[in-house]
Structure 1
Amino acid sequence: MSFNNLDTLYRQVIMDHYKNPRNKGSLEDGNITIDMNNPTCGDRIQIHMKVVDGKVEEVKFDGEGCSISLSSASMMTQAIKGQTIDTALELSKIFSDIMQSKEYDDSIDLGDIEALQGVSKFPARIKCATLAWKAMEKGIHSQEN
């Protein structure tokens, strides 16, 4: 597949998550809720998680922001739902590496998350893409203390 076709496909995936977000809403029985914002562009995200016995049983997000921010939140919830805390944090590290154009373990299936690779070319948008991930990490670490 040519670069232009791949770029077009990635844009379509991002817009699909933006227009049809997965896991959007709140949790009545969640045990972690974290609010974060990106003051430079106005993105605001709230992550709700239900973590039981070290596993993310349920995760939802709510918020307002650009297509990159909200698409990334949708993709993140899909990626970590049903995973252990350790796996969720590992996925977050891999995503951070992708955003910094670093080498990462490509043996792990990232699903739709790969569509956000191109964001690394636009430094001002990296904070948009990583906002939900940073919120998830903060939520998990708040439970450890």
Structure 2
Amino acid sequence: MGSLEQLYQQVILDHAREKHGEGDPTASDASSHQVNPTCGDEVTLGVRLDGDRLASVQWDGDGCSISRASLSMMTDLTQGKTSEEIARLYRDMEVMMHSRNLGVAEEILDELGDAAALESTSQFANRVKCALLGWYALRDAMAKSGIDISSAEVSADQERNSND
């Protein structure tokens, strides 16, 4: 295993242990409960909004280290961001997680920060669901608040890079 892979594994394990955003999701504007039937991971995620800005994310759940790490990374990435910024992050995460580890644009990896460590898991279909579980809960909770983050456009360059 290369040193970069070891670093990425450590980032994932650190986030799985730290679990940024873990807390009581019931004191929120909207919440979503999502289950990954493939492995049994589940999460209840709540959002509090300030206009179109995500004031806070709180989640409670049980799952593998990939789903917990992804939730922690997502919390760090999205808290305090506008719905437009979150839509872009959501789109970038989906592009990366559906890349089958064949590479994505450097801009996407830069935008995703620590979550870029999950890129190698995209080669395993059952792990893609683990990594996206929290993102789908966020999308659903925000939709319940009247904000659609699933409509961000993918540029031609990003689409081409995700299909290479």
TM-score by length of 1: 0.91
Aligned length: 143
User: In structure 1, how many angstroms separate the alpha carbons of the residues matched to 2:106 and 2:6?
Assistant: 24
Partner in structure 2 of residue 106 of structure 1: 107
Structure 1 segments, 4+ long, off by >6 Å, are none
Which residue among 128, 131, 137 is the counterpart of 1:129? 131
Partner in structure 1 of residue 17 of structure 2: 19
Unaligned runs of 5+ in 1: none
Determine helix, strand or coil for the equivalent of 2:111: coil
Partner in structure 1 of residue 39 of structure 2: 41
Determine helix, strand or coil for the equivalent of 1:106: helix
8 Å CA contact 1:43, 1:69 repeated in 2: yes
8 Å CA contact 1:61, 1:77 repeated in 2: no
Report percent identity of matched pairs: 33
Unaligned runs of 5+ in 2: 148-164
Q: CA deviation at 1:10?
A: 0.3
8 Å CA contact 1:97, 1:104 repeated in 2: no
8 Å CA contact 2:25, 2:45 repeated in 1: no
Q: CA deviation at 1:27?
A: 4.5
User: In structure 2, how many angstroms separate the alpha carbons of the residues matched to 1:103 and 1:119?
Assistant: 13
8 Å CA contact 1:68, 1:128 repeated in 2: yes
RMSD: 1.8
Determine helix, strand or coil for the equivalent of 1:26: coil
Partner in structure 2 of residue 116 of structure 1: 118
Partner in structure 2 of residue 79 of structure 1: 77
User: In structure 2, how many angstroms separate the alpha carbons of the residues matched to 1:109 and 1:125?
Assistant: 21
Q: CA deviation at 1:95?
A: 0.2
User: In structure 2, how many angstroms separate the alpha carbons of the residues matched to 1:44 and 1:135?
Assistant: 10
CA-to-aligned-CA distance 1:37-90 (integer Å, 9 cap, x gap)? 001100001111101110001111110000001110010011000001121121
CA-to-aligned-CA distance 1:97-142 (integer Å, 9 cap, x gap)? 0001174471653221111111111111100000000110111112
Partner in structure 2 of residue 67 of structure 1: 65
Q: 1:52/1:32 Cα in 2 relative to 1: closer, same or farther (>3 Å)?
A: same
Which residue identity does 1:126 align to in structure 2? V
